Amino acid sequence: MSEVISNNHKEGVKETLPLKGAGGSLFDKIWDAHVIQDVEDGPTQLYIDRLYLHEVTSPQAFDTLRDKGLKAFRPGQIFAMPDHNTPSDQQECINDPVGRKQVETLARNCQEFGIRHFAMGTKDNGIIHVVGPEKGLSLPGMTIVCGDSHTSTHGAVGAIAMGIGTSEVAQVLASQCILQQKPKTMRINIEGQLPEGTTAKDVALYIMAQMTTSGATGYAVEYAGSTIRSMSMEGRLTLSNLSIEMGSRAGLIAPDEVTFAYLKDREYAPKGADWDRAVEEWRKLRSDDDARFDKEVTYRAEDIAPRITYGTNPGAGIPIDGCIPTLDEVPEAQRAQFLAQLDYMQFQPGQRLLGTPVDYVFLGACTNGRIEDFRAFASVVKGRRKAPGVVAWLVPGSWAVRQQVIDEGIDKVLEEAGFELRLPSCSACLAMNPDKVPAGKLAISTSNRNFVGRQGPGARTILASPLTVAASAITGVITDVRAL
């Protein structure tokens, strides 16, 4: 019998769940191994290996447990940390009373229910979707949930990772199970070698432009192909992070030597003989050669150039050296929405965005706040200077990332180029902390969403890779990094 390792090795909690069937997809294998009960004409009762909590979506879930007189069923499988409201300039206090209350409430709830809490300002803290993988809390074969849509990030290690609602968070707190309808499966293959200057972020923006932001609704997506296999773990995490932006519940990548090398010796990863046993089982976590998917698409890597967005959803994007579509290129039924996006962004149909002045640049978020992203940014700005008048927020995704930036001397490169390394936070990804882009200002950002007001009321956001953001920070205008 093969099995999925489902445990918290650091605390000695070890469980094994049998893998069922053959000829299945990676998603099917992990899902089937976690089924507790199939409800006829209803949802599946699914066992959850890891629940992550942050300060925004958890308070009501804890209140539900109190109202029903329940305890957390398996607190050792649950980890919590504040991130959305955390300031990036200082972390002595949170001046916003709502944000401060949310962070304080999370700490009290964790203490009351016996849940591990990584407090603001401590070495374990950061964005939950950065900390989970880097600590080895997210492992292959797991089912992982959090009350946050970008939980799909953790699927990059070969896990089923899904965002859930507050009532569902309460379900998992109380039972370590959840009721879910099984999604359909889709495989997205990327084949070939990415061109110079093209990153995992560009791959994700390309897929969204091809499929639209609802193209994977109702599906769990597995990313496969030679391009994916050659990606670093950080790149895979970026790609899986953006799965939700095309409607997918989960974005998985089969674990391989890249995964194992990344996870080995992580704080909560298996150690010694447990590690060897875990890797032996994790190698079996792949879609069978005869696996069938409900949908399958293939893209060529050489067709993907560095990309930027021009509208108010992540799928409204173009190659950086391209032009916004003209009205003739937009289906008539979509023209009103298209024009509304351009009106908000203050752009015109057919406009070329290269050379457009930018006011703010943001490096960070659970999409691009990892060490590889800071290395990429630094590789562009080294020996250059930030453009006058551009406000730059460079925010690591965790304290561990920040320390690595310092240990590698990247902070000195950034400082010499006129940039400041800030403190770990969700920061300017969303307008829930002090890092808000003012109304009307244009930001080029490595974050995951460019919705109306996402980075601040009236703020305008262009999504791009760390390389493109770095090039634009140096020149003060939207710049193709290949030109540098």
Task: List, for residues 44-65, the tens digit of each pLDDT value.
Answer: 999 999 999 999 999 999 999 9
SS (H, E, C) the chain: CCEEEEEEHHHCEEEEEECCCCCCCHHHHHHHHCEEEECCCCCEEEECCEEEECCCCCHHHHHHHHHHCCCCCCHHHEEECCCCCCCCCCCCCCCCHHHHHHHHHHHHHHHHHCCEECCCCCCCCECHHHHHHHCCCCCCCCEEEECCHHHHHHHHHCCEEEECCHHHHHHHHHHCEEEECCCEEEEEEEECCCCCCCCHHHHHHHHHHHHCCCCCCCEEEEEECHHHHCCCHHHHHHHHHHHHHHCCCEEECCCCHHHHHHHCCCCCCCCCHHHHHHHHHHCCCCCCCCCCCCEEEEEEHHHCCCEEECCCCCCCEEECCCECCCHHHCCHHHHHHHHHHHHHHCCCCCCECCCCECCEEEECHHHHCCHHHHHHHHHHHCCCCCCCCCEEEECCCEHHHHHHHHHCCHHHHHHHCCCCECCCCCHHHCCCCCCCCCCCCEEEECCCCCCCCCCCCCCEEEECCHHHHHHHHHHCECCCHHHC
Looking at the structure, tell me whether residues 339 and 471 fall in a common domain: yes
As a whole number of angstroms, the distance between CA 366 and CA 151 comes to: 10
As a whole number of angstroms, the distance between CA 204 and CA 88 comes to: 27
Looking at the structure, tell me whether residues 153 and 233 fall in a common domain: yes
Identify the pLDDT of residue 6.
Answer: 40
CATH assignment at residue 166 = 3.30.499.10
For residues 75-101, average pLDDT: 97
Judge whether residue 319 has pLDDT over 50. Answer: yes
Q: What single letter denotes the amino acid at residue 173? A: L
What's the total number of domains in the chain? 2
Categorise residue 252: left if φ over 0, alpha if ψ from -120 to 50, beta otherwise: beta
Looking at the structure, tell me whether residues 224 and 138 fall in a common domain: yes
Looking at the structure, tell me whether residues 155 and 62 fall in a common domain: yes
Looking at the structure, tell me whether residues 233 and 191 fall in a common domain: yes
Distances (CA, A) of 380 to 305, 368, 477, 479: 17, 16, 15, 12
Nearest Cα to Cα of residue 31 among 285, 388, 401, 227: 285
As a whole number of angstroms, the distance between CA 302 and CA 390 comes to: 33
What the block records as the tokens of 298 is 């293939």
Strand-pair partners of 5:
16
Q: Is the CB of residue 34 less than 8 Å from the CB of residue 17? A: yes
Mean pLDDT for the chain overall: 95
Identify the pLDDT of residue 18.
Answer: 42
- Of 282, 299, 316, the residue at which a domain comes to its end is 299
Nearest Cα to Cα of residue 19 among 27, 11, 10: 27
Identify the pLDDT of residue 240.
Answer: 98
As a whole number of angstroms, the distance between CA 391 and CA 419 comes to: 9
Identify the pLDDT of residue 39.
Answer: 87
- Predicted model pTM: 0.94
- Of 271, 299, 327, the residue at which a domain comes to its end is 299
- When mean pLDDT is compared across 21-30, 325-334, 365-374, 430-439, the lowest value belongs to 21-30
Q: Is the CB of residue 56 less than 8 Å from the CB of residue 136? A: no
Nearest Cα to Cα of residue 154 among 56, 263, 294: 263
345 phi/psi in degrees, rounded to 5: -80, -10
For residues 375-389, average pLDDT: 98
Judge whether residue 2 has pLDDT over 90. Answer: no
Looking at the structure, tell me whether residues 35 and 124 fall in a common domain: yes
- Of 270, 299, 328, the residue at which a domain comes to its end is 299
Task: State percent of the chain over pLDDT 70.
Answer: 95
For residues 76-83, average pLDDT: 98
Per-residue pLDDT reduced to its tens digit, 202-218: 999 999 999 999 999 99
Looking at the structure, tell me whether residues 347 and 198 fall in a common domain: no
Identify the pLDDT of residue 218.
Answer: 96
Range of the domain at 330: 308-483
Looking at the structure, tell me whether residues 135 and 248 fall in a common domain: yes
Distance of CA 88 to the CA centre of its chain: 19
Looking at the structure, tell me whether residues 355 and 435 fall in a common domain: yes
Looking at the structure, tell me whether residues 280 and 339 fall in a common domain: no
Looking at the structure, tell me whether residues 206 and 245 fall in a common domain: yes
As a whole number of angstroms, the distance between CA 131 and CA 134 comes to: 5
Q: Is the CB of residue 92 less than 8 Å from the CB of residue 154? A: no
Looking at the structure, tell me whether residues 339 and 414 fall in a common domain: yes
For residues 452-474, average pLDDT: 98
176 phi/psi in degrees, rounded to 5: 60, 20
